[in-house]
Amino acid sequence: MKKTTRKSFSRKAIIIIASVFLVISLTATGFAAWLISNNADGKGEGNVTASNVSDAILGVTIDSSENLGTINFGPEAGDNEGNVRAEDASDVESLTVTVTGKIGNFNTLDKMLVTVNCPDEVLTAAGYTWTGDDGARTYAYNKDKAFIALPAYAMDKDGKALPLPAGEDTTKAMTYESSLFTAGDNENEKKFSVEVKFGWGALFEGNNPGRYLDEETVNKNKLTVSAENKKALLAIANGHKGSGITEDYTALSAFAKRDILNYMKTLFGSSTLKYTVVINAQAK
């Protein structure tokens, strides 16, 4: 019988965890649907699903609206330390998408608001639970279950605001300030660029899980899993043990990390998730 040394165990653990972690980035893909709102007569708002469509009042156009890119909750590029590593350089963390477009009749613009509507799976991964029916839910936030972080202008799938992690306020639409518009191709045309950015949650103190769980050094700062987070992470690992694990974890071992990341993966479900970015451009 072949003897399993500490060295061979560690090598096997690295391979297993890396493959699990990379799968996460394949199940959490990004922005496919876009909505443009405009106020044609100053009295009400109407939503139009847009795919490179310009409206007649403001002349709003979103560039490449049918495929703006992908949000990947994956390992950090270049992470080749510890148990959790980046195995494929082409499939790594990517948490930002930049949205660009233009307003053809800028003189008629009153204001432009931006929100990101998130599906239930994403809300769960961000630490949210809820009661009540769709459209009238009451939300609660639990940092001990927050694997990822949402933009401050994120909403639920119905456009309802969410409690902010700080607990004293709710998410709000981002107002795109007039000073941020840049010159267009003619006197009345203006261009805009909006950065939509997700992040890692309180469970990892805003760090990539691969770096955080391995307690690596990032930008000359040694990451350390806090006692509070270690307790929460071990509770997750022990509640979702992988096959063959019978005893409770007491430390963040290679297999505990694997089970934490594997559970995070299940929160996103088995299908491709789509977020909806809502551009609410209102005429005067």
pLDDT, tens digit, for every residue of 106-142?
A: 988 888 888 888 889 999 999 999 999 998 999 999 9
Task: Check whether 279 has a pLDDT greater than 90.
Answer: no
**Span 169-215, pLDDT tens digits:** 999 999 998 899 999 999 999 999 989 899 999 999 999 998 999 99
Asked if the structure places residue 202 within a domain, the reply is yes
Asked if the structure places residue 1 within a domain, the reply is no
**Span 238-260, pLDDT tens digits:** 999 988 899 999 999 988 998 99
Asked if the structure places residue 67 within a domain, the reply is yes
Per-residue pLDDT band at 34 (split at 50, 70, 90):
very low
Sequence-separated contacts (24+) of 132-140 with Cβ below 8 Å: 134/158, 135/160, 139/163
Judge whether 60 and 101 are in contact, CB under 8 Å.
Answer: yes
Task: Check whether 22 has a pLDDT greater than 90.
Answer: no
Task: Check whether 47 has a pLDDT greater than 80.
Answer: no
Asked if the structure places residue 92 within a domain, the reply is yes
Q: What is the pTM of this model?
A: 0.81
Judge whether 150 and 202 are in contact, CB under 8 Å.
Answer: no
pLDDT of residue 87: 75
Asked if the structure places residue 78 within a domain, the reply is yes
Region 1-17: mean pLDDT is 40
Q: Give me 212's structure tokens.
A: 């955080």
Number of domains making up the chain: 1
pLDDT of residue 50: 30
Asked if the structure places residue 233 within a domain, the reply is yes
pLDDT of residue 67: 63
- CA-closest candidate to residue 159, choices 143, 170, 168: 170
Task: Work out the percent of the chain whose per-residue pLDDT is above 90.
Answer: 43
Mean of all residue pLDDT scores within the chain = 78
Q: Alpha helix (H) ranges present in the chain?
A: 6-27, 120-125, 209-213, 227-239, 254-267
pLDDT of residue 66: 63
* Domain around 252: 6-283
Cβ within 8 Å of residue 163, ≥6 positions away: 128, 139, 140, 141, 169, 170, 171
pLDDT of residue 144: 97
